[in-house]
Structure 1
Amino acid sequence: MSATNTMNRRACLLGGLALPLAWSGCAAVAPSGAAPSAAPALMGSGDLGVVIERATGTLAIVNTSSRSLLGKVTGLGDLSHASVVFSRDQRFAYVFGRDGGLTKVDVLERRIVHRVMQAGNSIGGAISADGTLVAAQNYTPGGVKVFDARTLALVADLPAVIDPVKQSGKPTGQLSRVVGLVDLPGRRFAYSLFDADAIWIADLSDVAQPKVTKLEGIGRQPYDALVTPDGRHYIAGLFGEDGLAMVDLWAAEPRVRRILGGYGRGQQPLPVFKMPHLRGWAVAGRHAYLPAIGRHEVLVVDTESWQEVGRIPVAGQPVFVIARPDGRQVWVNFAVPDYHRVQVIDTTSRSVVRTIEPGKAVLHMEFTPRGEAVWISARDANRVTVYDTQRIEPVGELALDAPSGIFFTARAARVGF
């Protein structure tokens, strides 16, 4: 073997200690006595994503540039209400299943790396800003569990114990369901307690001694929340009353401020067929676009004053209200009986400019990183349709089994995703 080849082989071996073969560009070196195996194809992760196939507990891995299906990962349990966050390097997807399963998936090698059953009923989670901690929000038992992102070893357990003094009639030791869990700058998370009318902020700078700030009496039944893209404001929607609860996280002593109180103006709300979602998807420029509970409207809120500055009539009860990355458009999907429709709002005119019908049971939408396209899942039509956002016309389609959530790896670089 030449000196050059020997040096190259040594460099590959040393590099392999830190980098997987899919990244290193080195040929695989088989152990002594083993047959050589082909190295994974060299591939970046920036234009990849995953789609939940909820009926089969499967994760479909897709390429957003070629609009193609790369492969599938099975064995992820109950994904009827699943969500996903990504590692900072965009290689690993952390999948939170409804059955309490937390699964770490390698999207490049398309395989499960680790899987733990951490609760009886879970509805999502978040990853810390430094990428070291993964937190799961749980219904059963109520609370938040925090894991090492590398190994999925449990490092902290934060039960959401309801204060029986402040919540009269509720027994000592009862736990609240947790919703609206988001990551904050630093090793911090904010989340809402549906059954305790509270917002908690957990600081895990020292995982052995978490510090939890508890904000009580925020309003009735917070059902979901968002954190603004700058990480400053945490806003929880209230299912039990008109209005939202907001916390300025930059304040020396965070307090809850009620906003949009009484937006229903005394009108009888409609029956709520599906809980709407919030998240940072709804912030476009200096305005937040929020679903109104039990109404066929999207509320427009100035994020400087946090006052309502408009409302936009839409086709049904909005579920997801998602802003295109540049803020020029907001796309809205709906609860039954209007869940086959999606409407596009132009944010300059604050009006609906197009109504499309991607298929029965539209469950989720996800923009590509720069917003030139949006992917829309139609569960009962068994397909994901890709739309050009300038022309608002379909440009691609993937046949998938009961698709629901769509998550692209670009989320790894965004607060609250």
Structure 2
Amino acid sequence: MKHLIPLLSLLLFSPGIFAELLGTGDLGVVIEREPAAIQIVNTTYKNALSRISDLGDLSHASVVFSRDARYAFIFGRDGGLTKIDLLENKVAKRIIQAGNSIGGAISQDGRLIAVSNYTPGGVKVFSTETLELIADIPALYGDQQLSKVVGLVDAPNQKFIFSLFDAGEIWVADLKEPARPQIQKFKNIGKQPYDALLSPDGRYYIAGLFGDRGLALLDLWSPEQGVKRILPDYGKNDEKMPVYKMPHLEGWAMAGNLMFVPAVGQHEVLVVNQNTWQLIKRIPVIGQPVFVMARPDGRHIWVNFAFPDNAQVQIIDTKNLQIIQSLTPGKAVLHMEFTPRGEHVWVSARDDNQVIVYDTSSFKEIARLPANKPSGIFFSSRAHKMGL
């Protein structure tokens, strides 16, 4: 013990070493599409701590966090996988693992990082420590064709689940033995699954279908029942509107026993009873929903929209299923992220080069941060949630 005291004194009081001790629980990442950079931000003080640039194509970037929330893993559209040290404000390691990637997930134990790829179609799994390749899972179907992979999420029992856009399949990959993944395939689940979500309890995997009516649902507690179609008749008699931007299913909201779903090709948010998987209400909104996100306590749902209504945000009360507030944060609202307990929400307005922070009780703006073409906002509290 006596040998530790001089070391602790050195770390705490020496100039230039840990000038300020920080935790990571109130840190986050804001993606700047141009010029391919991120800001590391502090959600308590609502400020930017640093900027890290030269991170490749971030036009559809997403982020997951290590188990200890120290590292952020960024998935770039150019196939880049970048490990960022949030405390040292630097790139810990960066690799190009494919030609075109669309997102990723981190395993239950925090040791594996999986990336879903368009080119070549499949999933690659890496060590979170070294970014060394552990497993390669080509998305082969039919006559040895490769499918684009979408909707990749982590699931309980060291599993990853994803959908094959071109094949119309859902695969469950068991990575308990990382070098020998066991794959369970569910075929003919519907045409063109374009994204998916995992319910917060890790039980249900739900894929949206662009080429078919309804949604594809897999109950992970009873996989032997196969994939079933829910909401198969929704909107079958409605005129389809143009889809300028596909909804993001990981932004679907689950509040109590209700699920709030962005309607594809309609200006509506669908309210579904999770006990019966029946549609109970269609809530008209100002445009085509993109993200439909629940405040952490489930009291309100925040909705943003595709072009040409993407300067707007609307808030739905989950008690009476009515819109209670409309906001205009700025031009091209792309993403929203709640602080861990939901007292604030951060909103990116790409074409105004601003991130706007709102109080979620009063709906008043409380801060603005400059950012270069901001898009995704990701807070480190995601480290402790499944499916994100």
1:228–1:280 CA contact under 8 A, matched in 2: no
**Greater share of strand:** 2
| 1:340 pairs with 2:337 | no
TM-score of the pair, normalised by structure 1: 0.91
Question: How far is the alpha carbon of 1:265 from its aligned partner?
Answer: 3.0
1:229–1:280 CA contact under 8 A, matched in 2: no
- Paired residues in the alignment total 388
SS of structure 2 residue aligned to 1:253: helix
C-alpha separation between the residues in 1 aligned to 2:27 and 2:89?
12
Aligned to 1:17: none
Aligned to 1:77: 56
5+ residue gaps, structure 2: none
Distance 1:350 1:156, change over 3 A: same
1:40–1:109 CA contact under 8 A, matched in 2: no
Aligned to 2:206: 235
Please give the residue correspondences for 1:349-388 in structure 2 after superposition, counting only pairs within 5 Å.
349-388=320-359
2:30–2:39 CA contact under 8 A, matched in 1: yes
C-alpha separation between the residues in 1 aligned to 2:268 and 2:44?
34
C-alpha separation between the residues in 1 aligned to 2:13 and 2:165?
52
Question: How far is the alpha carbon of 1:152 from its aligned partner?
Answer: 0.3
Aligned to 2:126: 147
| 1:121 pairs with 2:100 | yes
Please give the per-residue CA displacement for 1:210-265, whole angstroms capped at 9, x wherever unaligned: 10000000011000000000000000000012200000001152510100002013
Aligned to 2:230: 259
Please give the per-residue CA displacement for 1:147-169, whole angstroms capped at 9, x wherever unaligned: 00100000000000122xxxxxx
Larger of the two Rg values belongs to structure? 1
TM-score of the pair, normalised by structure 2: 0.97
C-alpha separation between the residues in 2 aligned to 1:324 and 1:59?
24
Question: How far is the alpha carbon of 1:101 from its aligned partner?
Answer: 0.1
C-alpha separation between the residues in 2 aligned to 1:378 and 1:343?
15
Q: 2:6 aligns with which of 6, 9, 26?
A: 9
Aligned to 2:183: 212
Question: How far is the alpha carbon of 1:281 from its aligned partner?
Answer: 4.5
User: What is the one-letter code of the residue matched to 2:94?
Assistant: R
| 1:66 pairs with 2:45 | yes
C-alpha separation between the residues in 1 aligned to 2:169 and 2:132?
28
SS of structure 1 residue aligned to 2:303: strand
Question: How far is the alpha carbon of 1:306 from its aligned partner?
Answer: 1.0
Distance 1:152 1:40, change over 3 A: farther
Aligned to 2:30: 51
C-alpha separation between the residues in 1 aligned to 2:288 and 2:215?
17
Please give the residue correspondences for 1:388-399 in structure 2 after superposition, counting only pairs within 5 Å.
388-399=359-370
C-alpha separation between the residues in 1 aligned to 2:67 and 2:141?
34
C-alpha separation between the residues in 2 aligned to 1:179 and 1:402?
25
Question: How far is the alpha carbon of 1:40 from its aligned partner?
Answer: 4.3
Question: How far is the alpha carbon of 1:27 from its aligned partner?
Answer: 5.3
C-alpha separation between the residues in 1 aligned to 2:252 and 2:379?
13
Q: 2:216 aligns with which of 233, 237, 245?
A: 245
SS of structure 1 residue aligned to 2:211: coil
C-alpha separation between the residues in 2 aligned to 1:190 and 1:148?
18
2:252–2:262 CA contact under 8 A, matched in 1: no
Aligned to 1:167: none
| 1:402 pairs with 2:373 | yes
Please give the residue correspondences for 1:262-277 in structure 2 after superposition, counting only pairs within 5 Å.
262-277=233-248
| 1:97 pairs with 2:68 | no
User: What is the one-letter code of the residue matched to 1:411?
Assistant: R
User: What is the one-letter code of the residue matched to 1:51?
Assistant: V
C-alpha separation between the residues in 2 aligned to 1:115 and 1:222?
30
5+ residue gaps, structure 1: 14-20, 29-35, 164-171
Aligned Cα root-mean-square deviation (Å) = 1.5
